[in-house]
Chain A
Amino acid sequence: MVTNILILGDGAAGTIMANKLRFLTHREDAEITVIGNSKYHYFKPDGIHIPLGIKNYRDSVKNPKFLFNYGINYVRDSVTRIDVDNRNVSTQSGKNYTYDYLVIATGDRLVPEEIENFDREAHHFYTLEGSLELKEKLSGFNGGKIVIGPSSIPYQCPPAPYEFAFQLDRYLRRRGIRDKTELHYIFPLNRVFTMENVSNYVQKLFDEKDIIYHTLFNLESIDAQKKTVSSLEGEDQKYDFLILVPPHKGQQVITESGLAGDQGYIAVDRHHLNYGDYDNVFVVGDATDLPISKAGATAHFQSEYLSGRIASEISGFVAEELYDGSVACTTVTGDEKAFTLYFSYTRPPRALFQSKADYLLKWTSADTYFSGMLRGVM
């Protein structure tokens, strides 16, 4: 009997899951179908390089149809309804798909429209288009006050805003306009990052690089006339140039299918990644409401666990393994240095060392991603 595995989403999580599962199962035992409609597959971590002219965007973009290993059915379509009670997924083209295993890897979406004047005033590096536009605008910047930070939590790749601030500091110095520029960083918590020890480390680097930070700044509004951002806590910051992470939400189809509330993030078992009482419906990547980073690295670790589990079940061997929340990520600290964090649900990141080697790891990660990680070979 052929087991029918249906994967929703052709981003990092869906692609890694499909490719890993294809490696671990025989084609006569498992049929793997992926439904997705991404225009292109963009390696988002390069958003901290592209706007500053450090990398060419062409190395960060691939056509998704060439990223799936042999033996995977890739269907370009949009999911319109997920009915887990009747094991049915409907798509925009009017087709219906059934499954033995469903893997929801639909990620999340940017919703800048939730903050008035965001599109008009703020720049960001969370999409390829946004990164290229930011590059153009920054080239015309000749000094003033830059405000940078996340507009709300959660958002993809939690270190990205401080990484960008560090990169920007170096970019401005190289252009000879750092002394004409004030760099201000805003963050919603009472520190500059979610994890306390990382936050202390980053805060020290901010002080060294004269990056001024404002904590407990939950963005409430953007006043386009006065060029001011205001926080829920009652603080105002004027800006000449605004770089904000747009607000994020889960996909609309998730909410409309009743799998999550208005925020669109699906509650899953933190150790098994299954949804509710369903032992054949799983969620990986940014679509979950798990208290860990929304990042490709998370999707990678989750896929490692989940592909092994599903493949084991198909082969009749059920091993009681648990996902422990493991994530590893390399984060840039400017001046061609970076550090790598390893952590899990219960293990906070420990020693933090900046090094050039870690920076090179980050610099080359698009190649590693497209040729290895995404292909399911690592």
Chain B
Amino acid sequence: MEEQEKPTKVVDARGSFCPGPLMELIKAYKSAKTNDVISLYSTDTGTKKDAAAWINKSGNQLIGVFDREGYYEIVMKKTK
């Protein structure tokens, strides 16, 4: 199995509801550098779809969505 790239930034938005996690991710993205890997933790199921849609629309790379214990992790790379 390919080893997951280590995140440069972790955004812990667990307990926050839509649109909180996506807005937190966007905030972290704005202050990130190109090639930074941002990891978003969320317990809000809707964010899975919203964050993936935003990452694709903004032309960045969605590395993956991973199920963790009691939450899930969305990992993206800033490519722009």
A234 and B54 in contact, given A194-B19, A196-B46 (Cβ under 8 angstroms): no
Q: Does B57 contact A (CB under 8 A)?
A: yes
Judging by beta carbons under 8 Å apart, are A216 and B57 in contact?
A: yes
A291 nearest CB neighbor, chain B only:
B17
Contact A190–B26 (Cβ < 8 Å):
no
Produce 1/0 per residue, B16-59, CB < 8 A to A: 11111011001001100000000000000010011001100111
Task: Name 21 interchain pairs, CB-CB below 8 A, sorted by A.
Answer: A153-B19, A153-B23, A154-B23, A188-B19, A189-B50, A190-B49, A190-B50, A190-B54, A190-B57, A194-B18, A194-B19, A216-B53, A216-B54, A216-B57, A233-B54, A233-B59, A234-B58, A234-B59, A291-B16, A291-B17, A291-B20
A194-219: CB near B (< 8 Å → 1, else 0) gives 10100000000000000000001010
User: Complex formed: what's the CA distance from A232 to B60 in Å?
Assistant: 11
In the assembled complex, the Cα of A182 lies from the Cα of B59 at a distance in Å of 28
**Interface of B toward A, CB cutoff 8 Å:** 16-20, 22-23, 26, 29-30, 46, 49-50, 53-54, 57-59, 80
Give CA–CA (A233, B51) in the complex, Å. 13
Chain B residues, Cβ within 8 Å of A218: 26
**A198 shortest CB reach to chain B, Å:** 12
| Residue-wise interface mask of A (220-245) relative to B, using a CB-CB cutoff of 8 A (1 in contact, 0 not) | 00000000000011100000000000
Residues of B within 8 A of A232 (CB): 26, 29-30, 58
**Chain A residues proximal to chain B, CB less than 8 Å:** 153-154, 188-190, 194, 196, 216, 218, 232-234, 291, 345
**B31 → chain A, closest Cβ, in Å?**
11
Out of B18, B19, B22, B57, which one reaches A233, CB within 8 Å? B57
Contact A291 B58 (CB under 8 A): no
Complex Cα–Cα for A190 and B53 (A): 7
Decide yes or no: A233 and B58 within 8 Å by CB, A190-B53, A216-B53, A218-B26 being known contacts.
yes
Which of A189, A234, A345 contacts B19 (CB under 8 A)? Answer: A189
Residue of chain A at shortest CB distance from B26:
A218
For B22, what are the chain A residues with a Cβ–Cβ distance below 8 Å?
189
- Which residues of B are found within 8 Å of A345, using beta-carbon distances? 17
4 pairs of A and B residues whose beta carbons are closest in the complex: A291-B17, A190-B53, A233-B58, A216-B57
Interface centre among B23, B50, B57 (most CB of A within 10 A): B57
Taken together as a complex, chains A and B put the C-alpha atoms of A44 and B48 apart, in Å, by: 34
Q: For B18, what are the chain A residues with a Cβ–Cβ distance below 8 Å?
A: 189, 194, 291
Task: List residues of chain A with CB within 8 A of the CB of B19.
Answer: 153, 188-189, 194
Q: How far is the CA of A189 from the CA of B59 in the complex (A)?
A: 15
A291 to B29 CA separation, bound complex (whole angstroms): 21
Chain B residues, Cβ within 8 Å of A234 = 58-59, 80
- Closest B residue to A194 by beta carbon equals B19
Cα separation A153 to B59 with both chains bound (whole Å):
21
With a 10 A CB-CB cut-off, give which of B19, B29, B30, B80 has the most chain A CB atoms: B19
In Å, the complex CA distance between A153 and B22 comes to 10
Residues of B within 8 A of A190 (CB): 49-50, 53-54, 57
Q: How far is the CB of A281 from chain B (nearest CB, A)?
A: 20
Q: Name the CB-closest residue of A to B16.
A: A291
A57 to B49, CA, bound (A): 42
Instruction: Name A292's closest neighbour in chain B (CB-CB).
Output: B17
B58 CB contacts on chain A under 8 angstroms: 216, 232-234
Q: What CA separation (Å) do A64 and B49 show in the bound complex?
A: 45
Chain A residues positioned under 8 Å from B50 (CB to CB) = 189-190
B27 and chain A: residue at smallest CB distance: A263
Separation of A10 and B46 alpha carbons in the complex (Å): 36
CA distance A233 to B49 in the complex (A): 16
Given A232-B26, A232-B58, A233-B59, 9 further pairs, Cβ under 8 A: A153-B19, A153-B23, A188-B23, A189-B19, A216-B54, A216-B58, A233-B58, A291-B18, A291-B20
